[in-house]
Structure 1
């Protein structure tokens, strides 16, 4: 269907911002051995296979990666993996060939050095995909897998980086990944605003187009301001990563991760209001768009974690200028 040139259909990848391959390719580029890159990264770059990142667990608060309980135990020349994961985005895709699994290799080490990451081929015996978890009732692409790892054995050569480096690898992976999510959130908000302006230009209420109603104009103006503010913050965070690396951009990444999904939710919510009943049903993409952006306030770190990071960064700034 078309609304004045705008299709009401929306590609799933424009809503589901999981896009696990982007972060996984960056992880392999940064931390994999040459042999691992040849086996997994090159086919990923060529689009021949897909991948999934298996970190989050249902039994613990995985926003603190130190809580992860999956065990990775060395047995001679192999690691044996036992654990329960979910929200492993992309694992249900029949093209998914490789899983990056995070688990605990040394429970006695310092808290940030207990975790490691291991490459697990998806067809390894003991990898049991149980189901796909929906997002507000929607199934995104191939979904987000719940997986049980039951005595999964892989060669020690499948270790990514070094033992105990899992937490550091996760942080390196999640920074740019969060930027990617925020870029797409800004794009989704732009789409919602375009649908909103089209709707109010063509919908008559109380004797005149909605576009002439002051409250509607206010909603449109707020949406434009919020989108552009988020875009500039996202560009600043991305520029800082390019120029100075992930560590220097840590606070900025938390800022945009807290700002972008909330902004997108605000804009989409206004668009839903202007569409009335059409905004909450499947005749427009708005309900599905809202559901995913609302979920984005949880995945890759909930708002509260990022707000804590922002506050700590601000409190820790040099206060010499105030003297």
Structure 2
């Protein structure tokens, strides 16, 4: 092998700061602080890091050290949506908590910023351009979000939750296979056991300009058409939000119009819609699931807030927060992640269906 080839092979296996941290049994942030001369590292920890550096032949990059000294050690979680919808969404709260925990493990700080309306978008765009944070986690409730443009032409470490709007997303994204997960859920609702078959399902949709909603609706239409009859007239309620009151209002409209009398199952695009549907069915004197089965999606706290508790799909939002944080931390340190990370889902069967 020639010397150039040997050099190329060595480059491919060159240790990075994460290798040192793993061998020393400490976090990346601890190694970074020690190598950059911060005093708050104990002697025993310093000794382990020195030993790991020697064993891995790790050579800190001068440019990386220079950048590290200029870092804010802040990761910003940017949430774009109406304030009421954001604060009432249990998924966002879970992502916020678990992402914050993961970032704190690195010795960094997560700040959460909400944008509601054009003024909020403009303020956040200026904040991003100013270099306020080292990296960004994005949670948007809208397709074609204008905030994404701030990342389009800048090399800023960022990751986004959701790929329901895959076109031209300027950073890595984390999501689940909404289509497959919803299809599996619907098949269970239609055939909960070999002796039980439901043949008149209805659907309560979330806003179709938001991530995940179009895929879940398409899964309902295609799966029901496949499982039942292509000419079955599908009762579908199209809505502008994901709120509990909206699920209740859809059931009430079907009741007032007589549609509900021909329905034996209601599939909902998320758990809060489903919780509202269950509560309204109870008010109307219908039994769940004996008269009408109900299912949701997310496995959020809303799914266990009603009686009976709601059959749903767990898309592991606690895992999503951790993965989002991990991707942006690695990107800050020059380590790329796959363009799309798909998390597992799990059918959670409860008493409602």
Bigger radius of gyration, 1 or 2?
A: 2
Q: Name the TM-score, length of structure 1 as normaliser.
A: 0.24
TM-score (norm 2): 0.22
